[in-house]
């Protein structure tokens, strides 16, 4: 379980998160949604132990999140985090050496699924294929928690669809929990079971996507707009 208890995060003078408390139960695909600068990336970085809260506690399976939590948490950041001179295959080798939970068979299957050329250098990949490679190396880890910051950002509709299909096919919700941020609400909606709405560093609401659709009869985009306007 992921647990944030009265968490605040301040960057110099900017308060990015204000007294946030939330719980994410295992086996869910959760979307962290909100406008630009609302605190989504900050929340993921706190859970992955890359940054520390100014106040409050962040627990992952009962353990305080620090850099050591990377053994439990696979984090896809917004930035490209590879050596550009590696080939696709060398990138997989690197991940296999770095993470004990790296599932090479799954990685090879995903490389074929994403139609990536193993011998191509990362620096020669298109942006879309770099996005696909990021998904491959993140989802190939049999980590209990998968965090993805904007996995669809800047990618064309075909790449976005292939990534969404990859997410559906290669996540094992019996053993894994996924938290992702996105502005592509329409495309990601079918994938999510819960959304956490964040505005100006505060949690506005946490809701099941099914409830938004069936009880409120709203799409995720319309629900977010409605909640933001209140
Ligand atoms: N390293 C930093 N130093 C100073 N301010 C920062 C830093 N990182 C983020 N912020 C600020 O904290 C606030 C929250 O940023 P964050 O990146 O978490 O938002 P976000 O919801 O992920 O935004 P976006 O949708 O644009 O990616 C913003 O006002 C941002 O400018």
Residue with CA closest to ligand 1 atom 17 = 41
Model pLDDT, residue 156: 86
Query: Looking at the predicted structure, is the pLDDT value of residue 209 above 70?
Result: yes
For residues 207 and 198, the answer to whether their CB atoms sit within 8 Å is no
223's enclosing H/E stretch is: helix 220-229
DSSP label of 85: T
Q: Please count the structural domains in the chain.
A: 1
Using a 6 Å cutoff on CB, does residue 42 contact ligand 1? yes
pLDDT over 90 at 127, yes or no = no
User: By residue range, what is the domain housing residue 167?
Assistant: 2-229
- Closest residue by Cα to residue 178 from 73, 29, 60: 29
Atom of ligand 1 nearest to the CA of 43: 18
Q: What is the mean pLDDT of residues 141-162?
A: 90
| Protein residue with least CA distance to atom 26, ligand 1 | 36
Ligand 1 atom nearest the C-alpha of 17 is: 14
Quick one: DSSP state of residue 216? S
Classify 222 as helix, strand or coil: helix
85 vs 120, more confident: 120
Among 226, 213, 208, 182, smallest CA distance to 33 is for 182
Write the residue with the smallest CA distance to atom 25 of ligand 1: 36
At 58, the pLDDT band (50, 70, 90 cuts) reads very high
Judging by DSSP bridges, how do beta strands 177-181 and 55-60 pair with one another?
Answer: unpaired
Q: Is 83 in the pocket of ligand 1 (CB under 6 A)?
A: no
Specify the CATH number for the domain of residue 138.
Answer: 3.40.50.300
Specify the pLDDT at position 80. Answer: 67
- The per-residue pLDDT of the chain, averaged, comes to 92
- Residues 13-55: tens digit of each pLDDT: 899 999 999 999 999 999 999 999 999 999 999 999 999 999 9
pLDDT score recorded for residue 70: 86
For CA atoms 77, 74, 48, 38, give the dihedral sign: positive
- Cα separation of 72 and 23, whole Å? 17
Is the minimum distance from the CB of 48 to ligand 1 under 6 angstroms? no
90-102 average pLDDT score: 94
Span 199-205, mean pLDDT? 95
What pLDDT was estimated at residue 47? 97
Question: Residue 30: left (phi > 0), alpha (psi -120 to 50), or beta?
Answer: beta
ipTM for this model: 0.97
Q: Whose CA is nearest to atom 27 of ligand 1?
A: 36
Using a pLDDT cut of 90, give the percent of the chain over it.
72
Q: How far is the CA of 199 from the centre of ligand 1 (A)?
A: 12
Torsion of CA 204, 154, 159, 198, to 10 degrees: -10
Ligand 1, atom 12, residue with closest C-alpha: 16
pLDDT of residue 81: 65
37 lines ligand 1 (CB under 6 A): yes
Indicate the DSSP class of residue 202.
E
Percent of the chain at pLDDT above 70? 98
Q: Is the pLDDT of residue 77 over 90?
A: no
pLDDT of 226: 92
Average pLDDT over residues 75-104: 88
């Amino acid at each position: 379980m992921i647990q944030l208890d009265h968490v605040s995060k301040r960057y110099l003078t900017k308060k990015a998160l204000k007294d946030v408390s939330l719980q994410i139960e295992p086996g869910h695909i959760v979307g962290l949604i909100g406008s630009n600068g609302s605190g989504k990336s900050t929340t993921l970085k706190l859970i992955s132990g890359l940054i520390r809260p100014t106040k409050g506690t962040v627990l992952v399976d009962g353990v305080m999140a620090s850099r050591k939590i990377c053994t439990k948490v696979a984090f896809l950041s917004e930035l490209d985090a590879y050596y550009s001179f590696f080939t696709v295959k060398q990138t997989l080798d690197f991940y296999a050496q770095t993470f004990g939970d790296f599932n090479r068979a799954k990685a090879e299957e995903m490389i074929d699924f994403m139609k990536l050329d193993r011998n191509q250098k990362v620096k020669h990949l298109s942006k879309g294929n770099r996005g696909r490679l990021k998904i491959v190396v993140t989802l190939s880890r049999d980590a209990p928690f998968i965090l993805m910051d904007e996995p669809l950002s800047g990618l064309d509709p075909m790449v976005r669809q292939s990534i969404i299909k990859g997410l559906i096919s290669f996540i094992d919700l019996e053993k894994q929990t996924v938290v992702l941020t996105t502005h592509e609400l329409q495309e990601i909606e079918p994938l999510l079971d819960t959304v956490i709405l964040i505005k100006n560093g505060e949690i506005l609401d946490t809701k099941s996507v099914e409830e938004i659709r069936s009880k409120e009869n709203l799409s995720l985009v319309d629900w977010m707009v409605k909640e933001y306007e209140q």
